Amino acid sequence: MAWQDREGHSFKSFARLRDDLASRGQQLIFALNAGMYDDSYTPVGLYVEKGKLLQPLNTRRIEGSGGAVPNFYKQPNGVFYLSSGGGGILPTDQFAAQKPDVLFATQSGPMLVTKGAVNPLFIPGSSDRRRRSRVGICEHGKISFLVSDDAVNFFDFATVFRDTLRCDNALFLDGGRGAGVFDLHAGREDISGHGGYGPMIVYREGIDEGSGKR
């Protein structure tokens, strides 16, 4: 995952991230908005990079119904993480209880699918439709990322993860003008309608500084 450059400034764009990696002898292959952020492009919830906690777990709850509750706070929200054993997604309360040892983590919400069940908050046929991005942990531990090019509601997008991709757990990352992806091989580089992105999920190739490993 990536959020800030060596001077502590948010990358905000895939282009700046790509250039920063190139200066280190690395190539950006894939990147995706990794969850919600505030006006300063700071992650709203937990953010861990290379084992270092940069933002704490956000356990705040906002009471209300429907659209009155921001997406991040729709329950349950959750954490996508990478550890030495692979990737995982846990609802926030379970993550807080289990305290897994993670190398990378980002918190977002709501959970779309939990243990194979679609979040009961979602309404079939809902008119709340927009572009959305998600991450899921699927069969054999495969990590799947999905960004819709067209407007879609929460229920329909969640069922894609459950029924088509066979993901037992899936987490909403961001939507509307914040959904975005970089794909080198597809020649795609989305620009955020919010003026920039906050944290990003990154796949890159090259030697990792400090470790000598790819």
Residue 212 domain flag = no
Please answer whether residues 14 and 31 qualify as being in contact, where contact means their C-beta atoms are separated by less than 8 angstroms.
yes
For residue 155, the one-letter residue type is F
Nearest to 175 by CA among 110, 120, 113: 110
As a whole-number percent, the residues of the chain with pLDDT over 70 amount to 97
Nearest to 83 by CA among 37, 143, 158: 143
Residue 161 domain flag = yes
| Residues spanned by the domain of 33 | 14-57+72-205
Residue 6 domain flag = no
pLDDT band at 213 (very low <50, low <70, confident <90, very high): low
Tell me the β-bridge partners of 90. Answer: 79
Please answer whether residues 33 and 91 qualify as being in contact, where contact means their C-beta atoms are separated by less than 8 angstroms.
no
For residue 191, the one-letter residue type is I
- Judge if the upstream peptide bond of residue 70 is cis by omega within 30 degrees of 0: no
- Phi, psi (deg, nearest 5) at residue 25: 80, 25
The tens digit of pLDDT for each residue in 129-156 reads 999 999 999 999 999 999 998 999 999 9
Residue 30 domain flag = yes
Map residue 20 onto helix, strand or coil. helix
Q: Please give the average per-residue pLDDT across 106-131, as a whole number.
A: 96
Residue 47 CA from chain centroid, whole number: 10
- The pLDDT value recorded for residue 211 is 58
Residue 214 domain flag = no
Q: Whole-model pTM above 0.85? A: yes
Please answer whether residues 49 and 1 qualify as being in contact, where contact means their C-beta atoms are separated by less than 8 angstroms.
yes
The tens digit of pLDDT for each residue in 89-113 reads 999 999 999 999 999 999 999 999 9
